[in-house]
Amino acid sequence: MNLGEIRDLVGTILDYDPEVQTYQDEVTDVVNQIYMDFFSDKQWQFAQKLVTRMARADRTIATGGYNGAAGPPADVTINTVGNFFETWMEGQVISITGGTPVVVGHTQVRSEYTIQKVVSATQAIISGGIFSTTQSATNATLIVKSRFFDMPYDCVSLISLGVRDIYEDTGPYDNVTKYLDETYDLDLDQTGRPSDWVRSSDMTMAHPRTAPVVANGGGAGGVPVAGSYQVRYTFVHVANGRESAPSPPSSAVAFAAGNQLNVSGLQNTGTNSGLFKKLYIKGPESAGFYESISPTPNETATTAANILLSTSYLTDSARAPEHSGHLLRVRLFPRQSTDLKVQIRFVKRPPMMLDDADVPEFPSASHRYLVYRACQELFVKHNNLQHSEMYRHKADAELLKMCNRHLTEGATFWIKRGYKESELYTAPTPSLTTLG
């Protein structure tokens, strides 16, 4: 069943299905909330996902330079002689030690910071501290440490981490709790072949607070079909893919096919903050917001002209994030001494169903679970507790069936028994039985 069919069946059972958009939206919200809770409640086989992410080894250079005497914003700028900085380093830890003071009597920095933005291969902006006017050095040693390993944004709970690359030494990583991490005082700077992972502090990115403003610019190019359009946007670190929750949506504006879509009212995130803006557009063909194919506006940009949406955006464009900018992170122990392709298996969060044609991402034989559970909730709203309780039992029975089918694989295996012969078999034939 798709969302429209689920909602229709709920209306049939309730014997109440008014053609009122507000009420239909309420039913859709109830179904989606049940859908999200259902997916995250257990480690369903159909809810598990495998992805591979690169865990980077440390990078070191001994020709780093900084000069706090130059004053803001140069006091947070790190330069190197020769190419060093890579895009993946954005958001990672950088250690600064040693070097030769620029001015006699100046002191050297000896601390760790976070790389806020990679400007080029020879320059980066750091956060987490401000150098004093008497801190400066050349030929300082810089070590970039990929200490934190980001989980995918649709990760609800982590099941396993490990290396299963055919070109690498394979092996699973064990989970070490934060309690044991602190009790045994695991060295943050120990490197080698990882054997464990520790849940690190989660991170939530700041998100846009104000809605953008959409204007019809007329002219050529523009939107693919006629209708009403809205825009919302997120903050994004282009280098590492970290993305915030979306802004409130703009007001709807009518467009003819081919009209230019212009946006204003974007937040200025500050020079060198690393927070670019990714734009998402909602057209008349879907209730979802889809990623624009136009270039990403930079930190200080507050407007964007002729924002384009792919003509095949319903199949090839990403939808606006639903993860609220919250990121799960772990720390590998020991920290990887070589670049590793780490396989992550986790319980995923599915995209919400927004359009009537959207279908739940689990076996169709069990879709009626959403119907029963939605009826349980809505009968309470209709002040019919007897029917609510009845559909709670029906939903629980359906949930039990799914637990038996989709939680674990069967423990049965086949055992070959002795050979037998008969008039029907001219050659010895093995028979099989099961155990478990």
Summarize pLDDT for 84-103 with one digit per residue, the tens: 999 999 999 999 998 888 88
d(CA 388, CA 404): 25
Is 31 a residue whose pLDDT tops 90?
yes
DSSP code string of 57-78: PPEEEEEEEEEGGG-TTGGGEE
pLDDT score of 298: 94
Q: Taking a C-beta distance cutoff of 8 angstroms, is the pair 328, 202 a contact?
A: yes
Q: Taking a C-beta distance cutoff of 8 angstroms, is the pair 334, 181 a contact?
A: no
pLDDT score of 431: 61
Confidence category of residue 221, pLDDT binned at 50, 70, 90: confident
Identify the CA nearest to 232 among candidates 270, 286, 289, 293.
289
Distance from the Cα of residue 385 to its chain's centroid: 39
Q: Taking a C-beta distance cutoff of 8 angstroms, is the pair 129, 113 a contact?
A: yes
pLDDT score of 422: 53
What letters, b where the CB count within 10 A reaches 16 and e where it falls short, cover 287-303? Answer: ebbbbbebeebebebee
DSSP code string of 151-180: PPTTEEEEEEEEE--TTS--EEEEEE-HHH
Is 2 a residue whose pLDDT tops 90?
yes
Q: Which helix (H) or strand (E) holds 143?
A: strand 136-145
Q: Taking a C-beta distance cutoff of 8 angstroms, is the pair 241, 184 a contact?
A: no
- Which domains are delineated in the chain? 58-145 (2.40.30), 205-326 (no CATH)
Q: What are residue 152's phi and psi, to 5 degrees?
A: -60, 155
Average pLDDT over every residue of 50-65: 94
Three-state DSSP state, 135: strand
d(CA 15, CA 9): 10
- pTM value surpassing 0.75: yes
pLDDT score of 433: 60
